[in-house]
């Protein structure tokens, strides 16, 4: 029975997006309990109440069900304004939105690569985790069979995300350099924007916890190569930690610039093709729900070229950052432009979205 005052978080410890909401609930001090998303919970709770097979899901004390980490966090921000996670100044706010988009949708690539491309080190651990969650009551041999089925769904996502023999080495190079940049950053700052967490941190914790900190193969790399990043991950799960302020003067620290530069260099070309492909899809299927995958395209990571599915959802997240930026005027706009110039993103952020998307009932629709 749900406690009247409490929120319920449905998810798992090894799910990338569940960690984002768990960290947020703890940081804010919002009373919640976590329920493991077993097969039974999917059938009884998640699918009937959300219409989709996705986690995490949050049930509010009044019985509303919210899927999607961004929507969950935004709904809770409106109800729990203390320790707000959106800075009000233009550069920091824009950086938070951009880093969330990068972390949620682009760092998914190294997260999935390091989980599924190193079976010798990860498989036993992952299969045990999937087995526990699939059907905790079942005998071991059934848990193993169910775990294999669920695991093959997720490892089957590798080609969809463009993870292959060709792109693997470039993904590793990218991730190692990201760790080096984050190590520099978190050896100086408690959070992305200073002494207080923002949406940038909650975005980053998604890939950097469940997969890249907790799985054996990448976990070792993080602890050895970037110990300050590992400490930040641990800090992100503290209950209502003592906090200070974001950096004064709307400063986005220089240590984050390489990350934004990388985003504009590698994620934005993909986003540009995404909005074009979505526009074609919507013209061809007027008024219809937009499928999760709307096409295939070639893309680059470092020196490597690969093939991946064009996913529609990142357009919805991109719209949030673009809408915020396009709504700025005067000195605020200039301040944001300074950041974009420093990150090589001014032209990219001039992007127009021919066919906007909205989320309704956890699906994407043309606006």
Ligand X SMILES: N[C@@H](CCC(=O)N[C@@H](CS)C(=O)NCC(=O)O)C(=O)O
Q: What residues line the site for ligand X (CB under 6 A)?
A: 15-17, 53-55, 68-70, 313
CB of 366 to ligand X, least distance (A): 19
Number of Cβ atoms within 10 Å of the Cβ of 152: 9
Which lies closer to ligand X via its Cβ, residue 53 or residue 188?
A: 53
Whole-angstrom Cα distance, residue 271 to residue 299?
Answer: 11
Q: Quote the strand ranges of the chain, DSSP E.
A: 7-11, 32-36, 57-59, 65-67, 293-301, 304-311, 357-360, 363-366
Whole-angstrom Cα distance, residue 308 to residue 295?
Answer: 9
Which lies closer to ligand X via its Cβ, residue 54 or residue 243?
A: 54
Please name the residues in contact with 65: beta carbons below 8 A apart, sequence gap of 6 or more. 45, 49, 50, 57, 58, 59
Which lies closer to ligand X via its Cβ, residue 16 or residue 230?
A: 16
Whole-angstrom Cα distance, residue 131 to residue 114?
Answer: 20
Which lies closer to ligand X via its Cβ, residue 57 or residue 343?
A: 57
CB of 77 to ligand X, least distance (A): 15
CB of 103 to ligand X, least distance (A): 11
Number of Cβ atoms within 10 Å of the Cβ of 82: 7
CB of 72 to ligand X, least distance (A): 7
Which lies closer to ligand X via its Cβ, residue 15 or residue 198?
A: 15
Measured in Å, how far apart are the chain's first and last C-alpha atoms? 38
**Helix 119-134 with 140-155: angle, nearest 10 deg:** 120
Which lies closer to ligand X via its Cβ, residue 22 or residue 185?
A: 22
Which lies closer to ligand X via its Cβ, residue 202 or residue 299?
A: 202
Whole-angstrom Cα distance, residue 23 to residue 116?
Answer: 24
CB of 313 to ligand X, least distance (A): 6
CB of 105 to ligand X, least distance (A): 8
CB of 253 to ligand X, least distance (A): 26
């Amino acid at each position: 029975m749900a406690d009247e005052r409490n929120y319920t978080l449905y998810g798992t410890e090894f799910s990338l997006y569940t960690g984002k909401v768990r960290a947020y609930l703890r940081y804010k001090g919002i009373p919640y309990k976590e329920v493991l998303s077993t097969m039974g919970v999917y059938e009884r709770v998640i699918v009937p109440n959300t219409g989709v097979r996705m986690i995490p899901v949050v049930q509010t004390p009044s019985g509303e069900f919210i899927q999607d980490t961004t929507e969950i966090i935004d709904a809770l921000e409106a109800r729990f304004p203390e320790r707000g996670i959106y800075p009000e100044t233009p550069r920091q706010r824009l950086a938070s939105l951009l880093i969330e988009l990068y972390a949620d949708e682009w760092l998914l690539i190294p997260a999935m690569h390091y989980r599924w491309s190193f079976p010798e080190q990860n498989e036993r651990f992952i299969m045990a985790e999937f087995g526990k969650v699939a059907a905790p009551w079942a005998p071991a041999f059934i848990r193993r069979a169910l775990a294999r089925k669920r695991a093959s769904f997720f490892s089957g996502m590798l080609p969809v995300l463009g993870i292959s023999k060709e792109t693997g080495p470039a993904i590793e190079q990218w991730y190692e350099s990201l760790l080096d940049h984050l190590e520099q950053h978190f050896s100086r700052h408690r959070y992305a924007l200073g002494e207080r967490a923002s949406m940038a941190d909650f975005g980053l914790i998604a890939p950097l916890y469940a997969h890249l900190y907790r799985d054996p193969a990448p976990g070792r790399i993080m602890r050895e190569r970037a110990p300050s990043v590992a400490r930040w991950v641990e800090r992100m799960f503290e209950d209502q930690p003592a906090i200070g302020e974001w950096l004064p003067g709307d400063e986005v620290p220089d240590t984050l610039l390489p990350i934004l530069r990388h985003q504009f260099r590698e994620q934005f070309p993909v986003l540009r093709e995404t909005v074009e492909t979505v526009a074609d899809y919507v013209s061809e299927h007027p008024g219809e729900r937009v499928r999760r995958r709307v096409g295939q395209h070639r893309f680059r990571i470092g020196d490597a070229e690969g093939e991946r599915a064009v996913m529609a959802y990142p357009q919805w997240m991109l719209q949030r950052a673009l809408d915020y930026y396009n709504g700025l005027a005067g000195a605020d706009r200039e301040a944001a432009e300074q950041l974009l110039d420093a990150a090589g993103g001014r032209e990219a952020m001039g992007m127009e979205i021919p066919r906007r998307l909205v989320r309704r009932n956890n699906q994407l629709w043309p606006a």
